[in-house]
Structure 1
Amino acid sequence: MDFSEPSEATQIKRALDDFIEQEVEPLESEHPEFLGEDYQRHIVDDDHYQVPEYRDVVETVRQRSVEAGFYGMDMPEEVGGGGVELLTSAIVTEHLSNRPPGFHSAIMGGAGGPTPILLACTDEQREEYLDPLMDGEITTCFALTEPDHGSDPHYMDATAEKDGDEWVINGEKYWITNGPYADFAMTFARTSGEKGDYGGITCFLVDSDQYEVEKVHRTMGLTPGGQAQLRFDDVRVGEDKVLGEVDDGFGTAMSWIGGGRIKIAASAVGTAQHLLDMAVDYARDRETFGKPIGHRQGVSFQIADLATEIEQVRWLYRYAAWKIQNDERARKEESMAKLRGAELANEAADVAMQVYGGAGFMKDTPIEREYRSARVLRIFEGTDEIQRRTIARELI
């Protein structure tokens, strides 16, 4: 067994630190209104869309990241990516998350960036969608979830019926990240079979001028204006807009979802480490009744438990990534890492806030924002309950 960090991960982390210092931090200094205590007021307008000034900053980071070679670096080299393996990419994700909220989330792609599902593109689709996506010229969104079918997409209501040489799509999609701003949506709809069937679902590439952004959602903790409800009313697309095989869209999506879950666990570890470091520093400096609070078991034991949990999840997600890289089945480990990672992020925010006390409850520290942001990790990319079901199935 080799527990050393891949040398490529170490090099990328060092290069990212330089990039953030030179390219991202100056933008953060120029736009404190988007990161300060009142960031929610400044990021969106009265209709809850992100304001042009904020979008410009995000796009600036995106373009600079493309030029520096970080954007989409875990996509294969043959499509313009860096060909970085999953373990290295996950370690880099952890490193990027080990810092306060900022504009760095757009560096590796983030919401709307390149995704492995688009490797199923034909040559023509690659030229129209994947190539400009890799170049940072356009963004996308993953339109799978529906109002009544979140963790159970096999029962989706969206349909696509064949009419001559075209498919006619009808349905609604909910909680779609980057939905308000995407140039095209990877849209899933039932094309055959009955509700509940694993097969019979197809993915279509649908341009944004063909569907309606019906509502921009207001969410807890996430960057304001990032999620939307999309409506598809008799949207007509040709055969050339089918991604992968007809009736096998869900299989295409599931082929990469494990890596996404590992990235969530890695991000949770990075965030938790940042919160732990904050708590440790505060426990050293904050004095009550004549000595630092870190000398008191009520505080120090919480910190010790959190540090232990961080190490557990860190090595769990890395083991899962290693198994995938080595073409081993890792469905159980993926779900374990995502489950424990989501719980870890919530626990870290809670411990940090408890150590800080009233100071942690204030908006002038990032703790209260991280506390709100962490909760969604137990829901998206498969709820805690879905992960436990997957783990149990793998065992039984």
Structure 2
Amino acid sequence: MSHDGLQPVDRQLPTEEARDLLALVRELAQREIKPRAAEEEDAGVFPREVFRLIGEAGLLGLPYPEEYGGGGQPYEVYLQVLEELAAARLTVGLGVSVHTLACHAVAHYGSKEQRTEHLPAMLGGSLLGAYCLSEPAAGSDAASLRTRATREGEAWRIDGTKAWITHGGVADFYTVLARSGAEGARGITAYLVPGDAQGLTAAVPEKKMGMKGSPTAQVHFDGVTVPDSRRVGDEGQGFTIALSALDSGRLGIAACAIGIAQAALDEALAYGMTRQQFGRPVVDFQGLRFMIADMATKIEAGRALYLAAARLRDAGRPFSRQAAMAKLFCTDAAMQVTTDAVQLLGGYGYTADFPVERYMREAKVLQIVEGTNQIQRMVIARSLAGPESKER
């Protein structure tokens, strides 16, 4: 069933264990997350206790190996969990996606010793991560980042400022991309920085149009020192690590987008069945029926697209283009569906008495994070037609 039981959702889950997991997540989301979402978002409350709860339920390490404390689930399953969490509250769904992104470097590029030392705590549910790539002057052009890592014997000193960091100031660890060598993509290295490192501070969180419960802040590194044992991967490999993480992270954003779109459709349909005009439910009018049909079609298409990309990833096949397509389509669909939901509710949709106005405000950011949708179009076009002629 759907997130509120109105519409059937054809879940394509590979095992009985996965079906039980999703049922558990749906129950937890409806009982512990959704009832408080509107009030806490309006008040800007960060749901740290919710993250502890879902961590205890094993939901903060789902796509990582069980030997390191993860859930050992394929991405196909993990993304459907994200969709359920995002439908209940985007701050939570997106937060889990960001945490998974922050764990990627150590899980996929860390040494055996690093994985053994760090992953159990990172995946076990007690810690929450953040991913530090963007900077005030390096957003879409991430290869131009200026945060500097300077070797000092067997340690590294990190200086600079990261921007637009989800969980900035509340994270227990930060995966940080910093320039350790020459200009350009080849001079960047990845580091695992503890949240309580001396010299690490966070600015006042940004004032945003949506997701007010999720802190987004600049993070300052003023002589932050980490041992070389916390350098992840080889020197100069950081940009490769970052792009690899973003491919997977984009699928997380796509799943969150479909979650919020489904929640908006469910709300619009419930309203349309009960709201009476001209002596009958407004859902009986053909104009609104066509809107609902279009909304549902976009959601089903987006879900199929992100799941197809996830299966490629699970099979060990290239999926970068499909991840970009999923992120592009699903987030554009979420923006359209949530806007239509507001329209369908009319004046009530524009008030905070119903959640669709919040869904619309929240959907907008999904077209921006993990690479804007303009960047996704560049990624897709380059994979099909090669780089622009001036670069050939």
The residue identity in structure 1 corresponding to 2:14 is P
The residue identity in structure 1 corresponding to 2:38 is L
Per the TM alignment, residue 20 of structure 1 is displaced from its structure 2 partner at its CA by 4.4
Query: Which of 5, 9, 14 pairs up with 1:6?
Result: 14
Give me the TM-score of the superposition, normalised by structure 2. 0.86
Structure 1 residues 313 and 250, CA, compared in 2 at 3 Å: closer, same or farther? same
Q: Give, in whole Å, the separation in 2 of the partners of 1:102 and 1:311.
A: 19
1:117 is matched with: 105
Establish whether residue 199 from structure 1 lines up as the match of residue 186 from structure 2: yes
Structure 1 residues 181 and 258, CA, compared in 2 at 3 Å: closer, same or farther? same
The residue identity in structure 2 corresponding to 1:388 is R
Residue 120 of structure 2 aligns to a residue in which SS?
helix
Q: Give, in whole Å, the separation in 2 of the partners of 1:84 and 1:199.
A: 33
Per the TM alignment, residue 324 of structure 1 is displaced from its structure 2 partner at its CA by 1.4
Residue 230 of structure 1 aligns to a residue in which SS?
strand
Per the TM alignment, residue 203 of structure 1 is displaced from its structure 2 partner at its CA by 1.0
1:384 is matched with: 373
The residue identity in structure 1 corresponding to 2:331 is A
Pairing 1:86-235 to 2, within 5 Å after superposition: 86-99=75-88, 101=89, 105=93, 109=96, 111-112=98-99, 115-119=103-107, 120-126=109-115, 129-194=118-183, 197-207=184-194, 208-210=196-198, 211-224=200-213, 226-235=215-224
Per-residue CA deviations over 1:241-290 (Å, capped at 9, x if unaligned) read 21111110121222232222112112211221121122122222222223
1:298 is matched with: 287
Per the TM alignment, residue 110 of structure 1 is displaced from its structure 2 partner at its CA by 5.1
Q: Give, in whole Å, the separation in 2 of the partners of 1:236 and 1:63.
A: 28
Residue 301 of structure 1 aligns to a residue in which SS?
helix
Query: Which of 78, 88, 109 pairs up with 2:67?
Result: 78
* Residue ranges of structure 2 left out of the alignment (5+ in a row): 1-10, 386-392
2:25 is matched with: 16
The residue identity in structure 2 corresponding to 1:209 is A
Per the TM alignment, residue 128 of structure 1 is displaced from its structure 2 partner at its CA by 5.1
Q: Give, in whole Å, the separation in 1 of the partners of 2:25 and 2:268.
A: 25
Per-residue CA deviations over 1:150-191 (Å, capped at 9, x if unaligned) read 111100111112233332222110011111112232111111
Task: Tell me, yes or no, if the aligned pair for 1:218 and 1:225 is still in contact at 8 Å.
Answer: no
Q: Give, in whole Å, the separation in 2 of the partners of 1:102 and 1:391.
A: 26
Structure 1 residues 215 and 129, CA, compared in 2 at 3 Å: closer, same or farther? farther
Task: Tell me, yes or no, if the aligned pair for 1:215 and 1:230 is still in contact at 8 Å.
Answer: no
Q: Give, in whole Å, the separation in 2 of the partners of 1:238 and 1:70.
A: 30
Per the TM alignment, residue 297 of structure 1 is displaced from its structure 2 partner at its CA by 2.7
Pairing 1:246-257 to 2, within 5 Å after superposition: 246-257=235-246
1:35 is matched with: 38
Q: Give, in whole Å, the separation in 1 of the partners of 2:370 and 2:240.
A: 15
Task: Tell me, yes or no, if the aligned pair for 1:346 and 1:375 is still in contact at 8 Å.
Answer: yes
Q: Give, in whole Å, the separation in 1 of the partners of 2:272 and 2:30.
A: 28
Residue 190 of structure 2 aligns to a residue in which SS?
strand
Per the TM alignment, residue 336 of structure 1 is displaced from its structure 2 partner at its CA by 0.7
* Residue ranges of structure 1 left out of the alignment (5+ in a row): 44-49
Per-residue CA deviations over 1:22-78 (Å, capped at 9, x if unaligned) read 6x26xx76xx5x632x743362xxxxxx5xxx5xxx33x334434433331221112
2:275 is matched with: 286
Task: Tell me, yes or no, if the aligned pair for 1:76 and 1:83 is still in contact at 8 Å.
Answer: yes
Residue 202 of structure 2 aligns to a residue in which SS?
strand
Task: Tell me, yes or no, if the aligned pair for 2:325 and 2:376 is still in contact at 8 Å.
Answer: yes
Count of residues paired in the alignment: 371
The residue identity in structure 1 corresponding to 2:123 is M
Establish whether residue 373 from structure 1 lines up as the match of residue 376 from structure 2: no
2:388 is matched with: none
Q: Give, in whole Å, the separation in 2 of the partners of 1:129 and 1:277.
A: 40
Residue 167 of structure 1 aligns to a residue in which SS?
strand
Establish whether residue 258 from structure 1 lines up as the match of residue 267 from structure 2: no
Per the TM alignment, residue 15 of structure 1 is displaced from its structure 2 partner at its CA by 2.3
Q: Give, in whole Å, the separation in 2 of the partners of 1:283 and 1:272.
A: 16
Task: Tell me, yes or no, if the aligned pair for 2:90 and 2:362 is still in contact at 8 Å.
Answer: no
